[in-house]
Structure 1
Amino acid sequence: MDQEQIPGGPEGTGRRRFLALATGTATAAGLGSVAGCASGGDGTSGATLKGKGAGKGSTPEPGPGGFDVKAENARPGNADWRVTKAGPARAIEGFADRVSVLPGESFGLHVSTTAPRFTVSAYRMGWYGGARARLVWRSEALPGVRQPEPAVESGTRMVRTRWPRTATVDTKGWPEGCYLLRLDAQGGEGQRFVPVTVRSAAAAGRTVMVNAVATWQAYNRWGGYGSYDGPSGGYASRSLSVTFDRPYDYDDGAGLFLVYEAPLIALAERLGIPLAYATTTDVARERRLLEGAAAVLSPGHDEYWSPEQRAHVTAARDAGSNIAILGANCCFRRIRLEPSELGPDRTVVCYKSSYEQDPGFKRGHPATVDFRSAPGADPESSLLGVIYDGYPVDAPYVVTNPGHWLFEGTGVKAGDGFAHLVGVEYDKVSTGFPTPRPIEILAHSPVVCEGRPSHQDTAYYTVPSGAGVFATGTMRWVEALDATGDGRSGANHGLDARAGALTTRVTENLLRAFAAGPAGKTHPAQDNVNAVYGGS
């Protein structure tokens, strides 16, 4: 059967906090056909799937800022993209051997299933009239195989799969963007996602959505181990390195994408601003990727950064690119990216408090500790304006500066509160750490973190290049973009429609202003730290 043509139309607790945070050798005989699908033992064989995709016109012509987001989102969406049949544990699961590819490049899929056959459907995530996804490509039915059990490295406790490649996917005709591949086991035995990014080759004039894939992987406990704990639940049993060569164990295989990134992508694409797409590993690897970018977006949970990524984002700011931090606890862990057996930058190394055991540190690499910690302390506040202050909290978000341009159209007044919007981690302005000035505090919310009174801050600062930097100071910001209910249910941490309306309007104001160029030239920051905190 040919592939289907889709019509155009803090440490120690094991950090189980995530539960609180997220509640090819065979070639195609012709376009879209598969000549065999035998898995080889060298990890490279399997079917080569050349996608017809959406057929003629599937990729809109680039607009003046690059890829035409408006034209893409004018296409009919597919609201049935979600996983509705999770099935038994490990009924089907998989991963891609590339975190991101350029349009037209191929990647390998490594799939394990108990079903005799399965299909792969590629959904591009966006707005699409509220459907949130468009089906771009679907495979023919492929033979299923149960892959070997994973192994755990004795030194680092890193989980390795060493699964042979099941199929090679050709992305010819796929538009740039963030994708979820849905694996469907035959007979409704199960469904799982595999995320992959079709990245942009350049970002000049565009707002760059950066998938926080290193953080996704750090929180991944597939195989029993992640960067916070192992099977015992203890911090001492955590993995010191984690690899992308394994499926994601949470959110049906989607990682942190659906909670902390998809709502932001949907909003940005609905606005139609020129967008580019990348991952944290791309930003770290490609020094010039952010050159000329109008803005760079860090999503809701973007904790693990390499020194290279931080240097490249800082350089972009200093060249005039706006930076938006739409979460909290950002740029907190310093990591190192190393290759795996499947390719470069597929291992996330973070020894944390055990950095002296790290062979890379012994060879002269920076210590994989918190950025603010010795050796080589470099607090994240010098880039973000705010600094991580604690976990866990659940508190109202309190507006301090209602006249700020980012609150335009919200109707807020000083002292207005929005229940549950501050959590589960938060940041604040603290001049005891390096803090760019001038910096404005927009919201100053009282919190109590493990018995310690403090405050959460939303802040905006500007630099001589003209760039503006905005930080929400709460991890629930992106999640709140989807809040439409009365807040009574446990879903979305009780966030209600008021929180949804506030975050949506502020984010719209932010994205439009940041897409227009260096925001500091039109909206210079007016320092109010002394007024808010009563001192310097």
Structure 2
Amino acid sequence: MNSWGLRRSVAVGTALLLVGSALTVAAGPAAAVVANVAISGTTASNGTTTLSYRATVTRAGTLRYILVSIPPGSGGRITSVNGAVRTVSPGVLQWRPSRTLTVAVGAKFSVPFYGVRLPGGGPWTLSFRAVGTTGAALSAGTGTLIRPADVRIIATNPVPGQRTTLSYAGTVGRPGVLAAVRMKLPTGVRGTLTSVNGTLTVSSGYATWRPRSRISVRGGVRLAIPIYGAVLSKYGGIMRLGMTATATSGVQLMAGTGSLALIAPPAPMPTILAGSFPARPAGCPTAWPTTAAENAKPGTGAWVIPATMNGPLAAYLTKVSATCGTTVDLKVTSGRPVSVVAYRVGYYQGLGGREVWRRDGVPTVVQPPPTIGGTANGHPLRMASAAHWSKTLTIPVDRNWAPGTYLIKVSDGRYATYAPLTVRDDTGRKHSLLIQQATTTWQAYNWYGGRSFYSSATTGSGRLTFDRPYAEGQGSGQFLPLEQGLVVWAESMGLDVTYWTDNDLDVFGGQLAARAGTIFLPGHDEYYSLRMRASISQAIKRGVNVASFGANATYRRITFTDSTRRSWDVDRYTAGGTSTLWRYLGDAYASQPLLGAEYSCGVYAGNLRTGSGWLFRGIPAGTVVPGFLAGEVDHVWPGLYKHPGLGIVAAGTAKCRSTGRATPMHATAYIAPSGARVFNGSTFAYGCFLVRRCPSNLGMPAQSVASRRVVTTMVANVTNWVGRGTIAVRSDTSAPELQVAVPNHRLATDDG
């Protein structure tokens, strides 16, 4: 703003700035310029009207005052900006500037008058006159004020997907004999629509009402038209809907728009029963060592597979997760003897892993190629599967396998790969924190065998199976690219943490409140079954805190094919990619009503600038974290449900890969009625920043020590806030430093 210090409407401020800058406007011939007086009105929610007078300067000079007429009979407490307003005679106002204003020919006057209460009638011809210090008129003329339509639209049941009565009301600006009222309907409205005292026709998204008998209206009359029987679309939002009235002569009597908020509350979810914990097998402990005690054991960097060992060797496990007292089969394709070593992922003096079990000299075969096929309901599933591979080895999970995340390293001396496994704590003990692995999302992006969900719109899989190796992350799926950092950080802090997978959320989701006080969702946890989503919703209602250290969570809807949960279906046939979304069921099923924000798009890496709220405690405000808005981002959509008290705790802007346009990023937080705290991080970057190893294809600059310290502090602040003091985070928030060199990994993206 200039020295005027404008504080009201942006539009008004812009116009008045033109007056302020008139000293620099070259004067033209006076005869070539006319006043062009224009007068408009805007009705506020309290029923008062703002009258705006605009005119062009026709004579240069220094302004003394401006005189305007207002409709006879107007009332109200009338104010303005940047000057004093007074009534000089009935129906005439004087505005005198608070500063000296020298204007040039062609400059624009724009003066608003707030708080006017208009009388009945209209339209009105009103005058405008700007008087200079010499007494000469700097601009003068008349304009016509048409009464603002002040359109208001209400719905008796403003919930998307339900039946409602819509009521449109607007103020007539001109007198005449009413012929028709045309109203824009909310997008997707259906049903048999009716009204009263006239006929109603519907065409191309508009309803037109015509009176049964002659109706003469005068200016200032409110027209109110009800529309019965409207069935709203399952998609809502904040809609701007128009309403116009025309006379039998064809003259427009009224025109305006009004807002209608159709916001769906969170969708009801089924109750997920807790069930009982598995019986403790013989030889398994009743309790496990603390995280600190576990990480005090000797670590090793031998778990790392150098990039030079990437190659055709591949392996997978017949279980996504296991628990003490069970076994899991390993299937390998190599043709050479291999060593099989199980490493528990943690901090371990900065070495990142501890060897728990090994078997050397294990014979292998070259397995046949994966198959691609399958049909369901007449649709080709294009599922890539290696279920027909022969078993290489059975691995016992005994008391030596402390619950945690594991990488099974398989190496034939020339090539090596991982097979990931999560070991659950099924003792029934409640932990402070549970970290989830996004196994269903790993599988959606897995292109091993030549197919993933994202292969293409016509060749992508409609069924995905865990019966095949992961092509990403050297066989670890998205664990190493996105999730290892959060695990290493939690273990380095000695937190009371346990682990499970997406598959376990589907199986044991009803036990979540009994297993942990807080759950962390990882960087990219996109694919959710009904039981998974219902379990998170139910846990929040029962007081479990949730922190999503990622974006695009709970976005696509899947269905496990059977109780083994070795494969799952995703509907890409009903409406293409749209039908795979939870939101395809309606706005009530969007991610925002659950976690606080909604997916925007995949982005080119953008910078985060820190603020001053609790998320950035201990970080100087204005600190820039280069490339932190990465992978995909979420933001708060105005047309979707917002939890009461929802706050945007971090914000930024990145550029969408698909459109090249800027999109906002909003990290959010809210407290549920149960007291549960819910944080949505809205970017992929948290985990990879913690270990300074972000996916190479996300366009992020190398993570500096300073940037890592900022992100580590943010993660600690989230943990303190969301855990409500139940998670013991040390005050030392320096980033965990791995002493081993781990290859960087590319991350498969939804645009190929």
Is the TM value for this pair above 0.5? yes
Give the structure, 1 or 2, with the largest relative contact order (CA under 8 Å, sep 6 or more): 1
Assess if the C-alpha contact under 8 Å between 1:483 and 1:492 holds in 2. no
Deviations 1:365-390, CA, capped at 9 Å, x for gaps:
xx962111236851011111011111
Cα distance, 1:199 vs. partner? 1.2
Hey, what's the Cα distance between the residues in 2 that align with 1:336 and 1:405? Answer: 38
Superposition pairs of residues 72-83 of structure 1, within 5 angstroms? 72-83=294-305
Change (3 A) 1:123 1:178: same
Cα distance, 1:123 vs. partner? 0.3
> What is the TM-score with the length of structure 1 in the denominator?
0.76
Assess if the C-alpha contact under 8 Å between 2:482 and 2:523 holds in 1. yes
Confirm whether residue 99 of structure 1 aligns to residue 320 of structure 2.
yes
Q: Which residue of 1 aligns with 2:443?
A: 217
Deviations 1:265-315, CA, capped at 9 Å, x for gaps:
010111112111110110111243312321001011111111111111111
Change (3 A) 1:266 1:61: farther
Q: Which residue of 1 aligns with 2:683?
A: 474
1:395 aligns with one of 571, 591, 606: 606
Higher helix share: 1
Hey, what's the Cα distance between the residues in 2 that align with 1:493 and 1:378? Answer: 36
Assess if the C-alpha contact under 8 Å between 1:273 and 1:515 holds in 2. no
> What is the TM-score with the length of structure 2 in the denominator?
0.55
Change (3 A) 1:488 1:96: closer
Q: Which residue of 2 aligns with 1:21?
A: none
Cα distance, 1:426 vs. partner? 0.5
Confirm whether residue 319 of structure 1 aligns to residue 542 of structure 2.
yes
What are structure 1's unaligned runs of at least 5 residues?
A: 1-55, 359-366, 520-536
Confirm whether residue 433 of structure 1 aligns to residue 660 of structure 2.
no
Assess if the C-alpha contact under 8 Å between 1:67 and 1:274 holds in 2. no
Q: Which residue of 1 aligns with 2:392?
A: 166
Change (3 A) 1:184 1:228: same
Deviations 1:135-155, CA, capped at 9 Å, x for gaps:
111113211211112111152
Confirm whether residue 123 of structure 1 aligns to residue 343 of structure 2.
yes
Query: Residue type of the partner of 2:600?
Result: D
Hey, what's the Cα distance between the residues in 2 that align with 1:438 and 1:212? Answer: 29
Deviations 1:190-235, CA, capped at 9 Å, x for gaps:
1100001111224624211110000000000000000111xxxx32
Hey, what's the Cα distance between the residues in 2 that align with 1:484 and 1:260? Answer: 9
User: Considering only aligned residues, what root-mean-square deviation do their CA atoms show, in Å?
Assistant: 2.7
Q: Which residue of 2 aligns with 1:448?
A: 655
Secondary structure, counterpart of 1:286 in structure 2: helix
Q: Which residue of 1 aligns with 2:631?
A: 424
Q: Which residue of 2 aligns with 1:524?
A: none
Hey, what's the Cα distance between the residues in 2 that align with 1:335 and 1:119? Answer: 36
Deviations 1:354-410, CA, capped at 9 Å, x for gaps:
23799xxxxxxxx9621112368510111110111112232111224x1x2332222
Assess if the C-alpha contact under 8 Å between 2:603 and 2:654 holds in 1. no
Assess if the C-alpha contact under 8 Å between 2:299 and 2:349 holds in 1. yes
2:290 aligns with one of 60, 68, 71: 68
Secondary structure, counterpart of 1:351 in structure 2: coil
Assess if the C-alpha contact under 8 Å between 1:296 and 1:323 holds in 2. yes
Secondary structure, counterpart of 1:128 in structure 2: coil
Q: Which residue of 2 aligns with 1:288?
A: 510
Hey, what's the Cα distance between the residues in 2 that align with 1:387 and 1:257? Answer: 23
Superposition pairs of residues 349-428 of structure 1, within 5 angstroms? 349-352=569-572, 354-355=573-574, 369-374=580-585, 378-400=589-611, 402=612, 404-410=613-619, 412-413=620-621, 415-428=622-635
Hey, what's the Cα distance between the residues in 1 that align with 2:438 and 2:610? Answer: 28
1:140 aligns with one of 360, 365, 378: 360
Hey, what's the Cα distance between the residues in 2 that align with 1:465 and 1:88? Answer: 49
Secondary structure, counterpart of 1:290 in structure 2: helix
Query: Residue type of the partner of 1:113?
Result: S
Hey, what's the Cα distance between the residues in 1 that align with 2:462 and 2:697? Answer: 37
Assess if the C-alpha contact under 8 Å between 1:208 and 1:276 holds in 2. yes
Hey, what's the Cα distance between the residues in 2 that align with 1:136 and 1:236? Answer: 44
Higher strand share: 2
Cα distance, 1:457 vs. partner? 1.0
Matched residue pairs, number? 434
Bigger CA radius of gyration: 2
Aligned-pair identity (%): 29
Hey, what's the Cα distance between the residues in 1 that align with 2:309 and 2:495? Answer: 39
Q: Which residue of 2 aligns with 1:22?
A: none
Query: Residue type of the partner of 2:401?
Result: W
Secondary structure, counterpart of 2:585 in structure 1: coil
1:345 aligns with one of 565, 580, 600: 565
1:301 aligns with one of 501, 524, 540: 524
Secondary structure, counterpart of 2:583 in structure 1: coil
Secondary structure, counterpart of 1:153 in structure 2: strand
